[in-house]
Chains A and B, each alone.
Chain A
Amino acid sequence: MTKVVDTSMGASIPARPTARRPTTDGPRPAPGPSRPRRWRSYLASYLAISPFFVLFAVFGVFPLGIAAYLSLHTWDGIGTMHFVGFEQFHRLLEDSQFWQSLVTTIEIFAMSQAPMVVAALVAAFVLSSDRLRFRGVYQTVYFLPQVTSIVVIAIVFQSLFGGNFGMINRLLVSVGLPSVDWMASTWGANTMIALMIIWRGFGYLVIFFMAGMATIPPELYEAAELDGAGGPRKLWSITLPMMRPTIVFALLTGIVGGLQVFTEPQILGVSGTSVPGMTMMLLQYQYLGQSQSASVGADLGYASAIGWAVFALVTLASLGTLLMRRVTGHKEVI
């Protein structure tokens, strides 16, 4: 059980990987190989990891340096590049569309993650019941949306929500309610996008939480049953506290994807200067000069500045989650 916490931390806070050194170093070979032979074996290791590290340096690390460089310039990607200092970040602060995209990104994140985690916890709890039939069938059905492309999902959801002829609006009208133009208002667009994210991510979290629940000792539940606890009580008093590390890990991994929502609003046709559904990633895309429908001029410097804002948001959210865990974690059993 401790291992659960340990590795998940390793995955999310890469700053402490050296802590594992003692476990990975095996027994040293009894007679140490001679110096030249040892260097030959080192050389083989370096050569073996070199292809990975060449790619990693060129496509993983180098772009980060360029991103810092670009964000101090203005450049349409074709003409000459002009150094502007921190002007792009200053522009960021005064760009109301940027602030609105920041709010939209956070709103969509909150509207999707919170209900999804709660629903997945309940479903995982029920699915973990003893002697439940069709468990595998339920798991498979819940996971199906996860393997479906977001493009496919957006196309289907748009036909359900879209226009006056969408299913949802027809239903609303048929029970006497006004039809809703979902993409015209911020809350409508946020709701639609959050629903897509929930629908797609639910099954993944269910499987994930079931694995976490499987590590809870059954004795705890037996003791609670002797004390007369029912299902909801057990979920609240045993499962949830024991699941805290798993939930935190799920949140941490959800932050990276959940704050970089792009495909859903892009397929729904959000572009240019429109505000509903304009997330930070999609706003950045407008400035890359690749979108035919973008009404703003390409500026790779400004796009990079937005990129750093995404990074700051992801980092803050991750730190906040970890802090929350530390503050509320005093009762932690593990």
Chain B
Amino acid sequence: MSADVQETDRGTYPVRKRGGGRRPQVGKHLVLLCAALVSLFPFYWLLIMATSSSGEVFKFPPRLIPGTRLFENLGKVSDAVPLDATFVNSLVVAVSAVLLTGFLCSLGGFVFARMRFPGRDKLFGCVLATLVFPTGVSLAPSLQIYSHLGWINTFLPLIVPGAASAFGLFWMRQYAVSAIPYELIEAARLDGCGLLRMYWHVALPAMRPAIASFGIFTFMWSWNDYLWPLLVLNDPQKYTVPVALAQLKGAYGNIDYSVVTAGTLVGAIPLIVLFLFVRKWIFRNMVAGAVK
């Protein structure tokens, strides 16, 4: 299934073959280009505003080329929020979430896929059943649990609860079923490997693509998460990037929008850069995870 999606002569996707030779596909490119311009315009607009002065932002007709005031605007950002500290916070939260989720879900996925024990399928069914409950149901209770644990104003609510991800367990189990043959497990068992050594030496190498792609998605979700950081963090020094940007908008929104947009531009860049590096990987695995 995933093999014929991935391996074709024309890149990632097999394409419809058409009869006839090359035809210029002006009409198609016109449609696609329009959509591309719409997709890019807000980024362009963000860049324009972030580099303008407050007076220029709302001038009409607007300026079309970026200005030179980016660093000046960024200087004012730090008056409202400690943006550099929030970057570190977001990075700490996202990396911890990736490591913990990746470990728990890959170990669980491997055990559910390749170990036999009583109640296995019932337990897995219970985990999947909770997927029908949206976040909205457990907002108030979860908040109370975190506050009872003394977790308010720490990063723990953003890292630990999400690690028991039903979706992650499902994803990893699916992949382990297709990637780890039983023969390998039996061979390792005959060599006297215990479960943890089997996980480390057999499952982990075989599941690397699934772990990496799930890790990338977890990183992006965690980095962009807004609701939970907003609910549990009150100290500006502890804010993650999205909460800090919202705070910046609250502080500067009515005074100088170019300052808000300068911070916003800087806040948006890390994930865009990460995405450009791993985009082929994302396209392939997002599809494999969803369609497979």
* A→B interface (CB under 8 Å): 3-4, 7-8, 10-12, 14-15, 17-18, 21, 23-27, 29, 41-42, 44-46, 48-49, 51-53, 55-56, 58-67, 70, 77, 119, 122-123, 126-136, 138-145, 147-153, 155-157, 159-160, 165-167, 170, 174, 199, 202-204, 207-208, 210-216, 218, 221-222, 225, 246, 249, 253, 256, 259-260, 262-263, 266-267, 280-281, 284-285, 288, 290, 300, 303-304, 306-308, 310-311, 314-315, 318
Contacts and interface: CB of A to CB of B under 8 A. Distances in A.
Interface stretch (B65-73, B137-145, B206-214): B137-145
Given A14-B129, A151-B226, A156 B42 contact: yes
Given A155-B245, A311-B134, A221 B45 contact: no
B95 interface: no
B128 interface: yes
B271 A64 contact: no
A199 B220 CA distance: 18
Contact of A56 (B12, B40, B62, B164): B164
Interface residues of B, number: 118
Nearest to A48: B111
Given A49-B111, A260-B134, A211 B5 contact: yes
A168 B182 CA distance: 61
B182 A55 contact: no
A59 B39 contact: no
B268 A260 contact: no
B43 interface: yes
Given A44-B194, A155-B261, A208-B287, A53 B123 contact: yes
B28 A129 contact: yes
Contacts of A318: 132
A63 B138 contact: yes
Contacts of A310: 134, 136-137
A70 B141 CA distance: 8
Interface string B115-155: 11110111111011111111111111111110000000000
A147 B271 contact: yes
Given A66-B141, A211-B291, 9 more contacts: A4-B291, A15-B125, A64-B138, A129-B25, A131-B18, A144-B40, A149-B242, A159-B257, A262-B227
A18 B121 contact: yes
Nearest to A170: B60
B32 A127 contact: yes
Contacts of B38: 199
Interface string B78-91: 00000000000000
A52 B107 contact: yes
B139 A303 contact: yes
B17 A135 contact: no
Contacts, number: 348
Contacts of A17: 121, 124-125, 128
B140 A307 contact: yes
Contact of B133 (A3, A49, A285, A311): A311
Given A149-B224, A304-B140, A207 B283 contact: yes
Contacts of B31: 122-123, 126
Interface in B198-250: 199, 220, 223-224, 226-227, 230-231, 241-243, 245-246, 249
Most B CB within 10 A of own CB, among A215, A218, A281, A307? A307
Contacts of A165: 57-58, 60
Given A152-B264, A202-B39, A311-B134, A126 B28 contact: yes
Contacts of B192: none
Contact of A221 (B16, B124, B139): B16
Contacts of B241: 149
Nearest to B160: A55
Contact of B286 (A155, A157, A167, A208): A208
Contacts of B112: 49
Nearest to A19: B121
Contacts of B19: 222, 225
Contact of A128 (B15, B40, B122): B15
A167 B62 contact: yes
A63 B286 CA distance: 30
Given A144-B43, A262-B227, A307-B136, A135 B275 contact: no
Given A24-B177, A56-B127, A70 B140 contact: yes
Given A149-B226, A207-B283, A160 B15 contact: no
Given A208-B287, A303-B140, A48 B15 contact: no
A49 B257 contact: no
B246 A151 contact: yes
Question: Which A-B residue pairs are the 9 nearest by beta carbons?
Answer: A14-B128, A165-B58, A66-B141, A26-B182, A310-B136, A59-B161, A55-B164, A63-B138, A211-B287
Contacts of B174: 7
Given A143-B279, A202-B39, A51 B104 contact: yes
Contact of B290 (A126, A135, A249, A280): A249
